[in-house]
Each structure stands twice: as structure tokens, then as C-alpha cells.
Amino acid sequence: MPGTLIHHETHGRTAITPFSHDPDFDFEIRSAIGHSTEGAAEIGEVLAATSGIRKGDHDAWFTAWHDLALRTLAIADDAAAHDHVVSASEAYLRASAYFGVAVNAASGGEDDALVASTFAQQQAAWDAFVDHAPVAVDRVEIPYEGRTLPGWLFLSSTPAPHRATIVAVNGSDGSLAAMWASCVAPALRRGYNVLVFDGPGQQSQLFDKGTTFRPDWENVLTPVFDAVSRMPGVDPDRIAVYGISQGGYWVARAIAFEHRFVAAITDPGIVDVSTSWTSQVPKSLLRALDAGDTAKFDQEMAFGMRFSPETARRWRFRARPYGTKGFAETVEAVRAYTVADVAHEIATPLLILSPEGEQFWPGQSARLASLTPDFSTVIDFTTTEGADGHCEPLARTRTAQRMLDWLDDRLSS
């Protein structure tokens, strides 16, 4: 029902021991373990590869994931050479996912050649997975502003001339293999087609084409809708959209303008992307920025970064897709990524996932719901059930069940 909260009763409270003393490493490990539910990781491989890596040792972190990806790729190539199609498909998927983590590890550094070469390996493994995929998949080109965006339409095996379809929108740094695990595989089993694609600033569009993010994603998802609605096997009246991580912002922004999607899901809800940046900046510096003193902001931020290499690395990683140069320029650019002023235009049934302990955009799922009271439903995920944290990394089966059951109910009513 619109404007409702679906609360799942829990008893007591538990916390899962971190897999790493480094919070960033721990989150990546948790995400990989979550992806194992759909074959995009093997838990033993991940834990063995990352065991003993010291906090902040980014060289060892990159090497661990890159070596794991290479070993897994060799398994895939050998299986493919001997016509073991299922084994090849499984290993290519894992290899692409592992290369994806390595790409993120390299992206915080200053070696652009390493980023580019590692992404090329990630993409090659993904293409090999698509070639050996256990389901039918069409490679598609989506017309977009005089060029095209690459897409992959995974087709449900459920007999039907036209099927409901989910457009899956990735986050700021998620791999396609991770999106397979988060949305594609569970949706296919329920009879949906799923379209995944690289939008501006994402994956191939960033690393191969050099394009950057844009805040006005209605200008991305409208041509995507136009394209997918005409694809064979797609019911144009039953197209939904799902956004994971920062994709939750892009979906919320787009549906304020593009009203043809039958339903939308944000995982989690995001109103203002910039809060995950500005919450880490001293308030005195933000006041200087607001007063127009960008020189002081840049100078003091640069000074602080010299004493915190870890912060500097994280900043480089997160700023790369925005294509900005200075610190002030970056913050001002990210501040444009908000739906606060357009959320009242949303008229699409909207499911907002709200995990306890959301570390990047705390409280924003509730805020998005408050801005869309007549159209939104919130589902909470808790620490007690092991479903806390950004994008519920250790509860992806439960996440898929709840969000896709909600979508089933929307489309059957």
C-alpha cells in the first residue's frame, strides 16, 4: 500500500564480527559474500584471498583480488576450452566480479594505466560470461544523445510472448557482475526480463569513453525506457526500474520526470548525494565554501589530505567519476545531485529499502519516503536479521525476496 512501512518483527540484536579491521575492506568482503548467493563469488576463495591483509595496505588488497581474479579466469578458460559451458560460465562471472573489486582498489591510486588495464580484464571476463550465460541474453545499443550506451537484455525463460522487465541501474562503482547477483539472477527466476547498462560515468563509459556522471538522470532513463520498450519480448506496459547504491538517487531523480515506469525500487533511498561527502568535511570549511572562498577551501583540504593519505585515496576514488579537479569544484558538483526540490513530482509506486546502520546516506530512506508519502512504501532491514548496512550486503536473498515480492504484487494487481 502506498505510504506504508513494512516492518519485519525481530527479537534481540546481534552484530557480525568484521571480516577486516579496515572498514572499506570489510564492506567489500561483505558485498562479495552477498554476491556468492547468485554465483558471483565463492566465500572460501574470498576469505582465503583477503585473510591477513593489514588495515590500509592497499597494494596487498589490490594484489589479492587481482590474483584471485586471474586464477579464476584461468579456471574459466580451461573449462571453456574443454566445452564445460556451465563451469566456464560460473568461473567467468566470479572472475569479472573479482576484477571489479580490483578496479575499485586501483581507482583510489594515481596509476591510471593500472585502472584501465584491470578494467579491460574485468570487461573481457564479463563478455565471456555473457557468451556462456545460462540464459538467453541480447547485447543491445541504447541510443543516447547522438551515440549509444551498451546494454545487456537478459531474457526470462518463462513462456510468454511479452514479459515484465526490470531496468537495473547500477551505483557509482558497481560492476555488472555484482548487478547480476543483486538483481538480474533473482529477477530472472521470477519470470522477469532484466536490462543492465552502463550509463554516463559508469564502468565502460568512465574507463573507456571518459564520460562523467550527470545529476539529471531523467535524460538517461527516458531514452533507456524508449529503447527497452521496443525490444522483442518486452511488455511496454510493465517496465519497472531498480537502482542500487547511488543508483537509488538516479532512479528517484528520473521518476520525478519520467512517469512511464510501472514501479520503482531504490536500494536505499537517497535524497541528497552530497551528504556522504559534506558529513566528512569540517563545518568551518563548509562555511568558507558557502561564502564563496573556494581558494581557502581547496588550500585547507589539500593541507589536511597530506596528513591523511587514506582520506586522500578515498577522495580520489569517489571523485573520479565526477570528472572534477579541485576539492571545492567536486563538492559543488556533487551538491547538484538532489531530489529534494523535485520529489513532489514523483507519482510512480516507489519501494524504498531502508537498512539499519546505513553508513553512507543515513536517514535518507526515511526522508525520501516523507517527500513521497502518497506513493512510497518503506521496507526496513535490521541488524538482528543480518541485513544491516549499505545495500544489505549479507542478506541479498532476503532483499531480493522482499523487493521482488512487492513488485510481483504491484504487477498482478
DSSP string, 58-116: HHHHHHHHHHHHHHHHHHHHHHHHTT-HHHHHHHHHHHHHHHHHHHHHHHTSS-HHHHH
DSSP of 127-171: HHHHHT-SSEEEEEEEEETTEEEEEEEEE--S--SSEEEEEEE--
Spatial separation of the C-alpha atoms in residues 306 and 301, rounded to whole Å: 9
Spatial separation of the C-alpha atoms in residues 364 and 69, rounded to whole Å: 35
Which grid coordinates belong to 72? 579464476
Spatial CA neighbour of 1 closest among 265, 269, 374: 374
Spatial separation of the C-alpha atoms in residues 269 and 212, rounded to whole Å: 22
- The number of helices, as runs of H, and strands, as runs of E, in the chain is 17, 9
What is the per-residue pLDDT for 413? 65
CATH architecture of 136-273+337-413: 3-Layer(aba) Sandwich (3.40)
pTM here?
A: 0.94
What is the per-residue pLDDT for 291? 95
Question: Phi/psi of residue 266, each to 5°?
Answer: -115, 135
Do 218 and 144 touch, CB atoms closer than 8 A? no
- What is the phi-psi region of residue 382: left when phi exceeds 0, alpha when psi lies from -120 to 50, beta otherwise? beta
What is the per-residue pLDDT for 325? 87
- What is the phi-psi region of residue 39: left when phi exceeds 0, alpha when psi lies from -120 to 50, beta otherwise? left
What is the per-residue pLDDT for 14? 54
- Across the beta sheet with 4-6, the strand order is 4-6, 376-381, 350-355, 263-267, 234-244, 163-169, 193-197, 147-155, 136-144
What is the per-residue pLDDT for 8? 42
Spatial CA neighbour of 95 closest among 151, 28, 175: 175
DSSP annotation of 322 reads G
Each residue's pLDDT expressed in tens, for the chain with a length of 413 residues: 334 444 443 334 457 899 999 999 999 999 999 999 999 999 999 999 999 999 999 999 999 999 999 999 999 999 999 999 999 999 999 999 999 999 999 999 989 999 999 999 999 999 999 999 999 999 999 999 999 999 999 999 887 778 999 999 999 999 999 999 999 999 999 999 999 999 999 999 999 999 999 999 999 999 999 999 999 999 999 999 999 999 999 999 999 999 999 999 999 999 999 999 999 899 999 999 999 999 999 999 999 999 888 899 999 999 999 999 899 999 999 999 999 999 999 999 999 999 999 999 999 999 999 999 999 999 999 999 999 999 999 999 999 999 999 999 999 86
Spatial CA neighbour of 13 closest among 394, 383, 354, 389: 383
Q: Indicate the fold that domain 19-134 takes in CATH.
A: de novo design (two linked rop proteins) (1.20.1440)
- 141-165 pLDDT per residue, tens: 999 999 999 999 999 988 777 899 9
What is the per-residue pLDDT for 160? 76
Domain boundaries, the chain: 19-134, 136-273+337-413, 276-334
What is the per-residue pLDDT for 157? 87
Which grid coordinates belong to 79? 573449462
Greatest alpha-carbon pair distance for the chain in Å reads 65
What is the per-residue pLDDT for 280? 87
For 358, the 3-state DSSP assignment is: coil
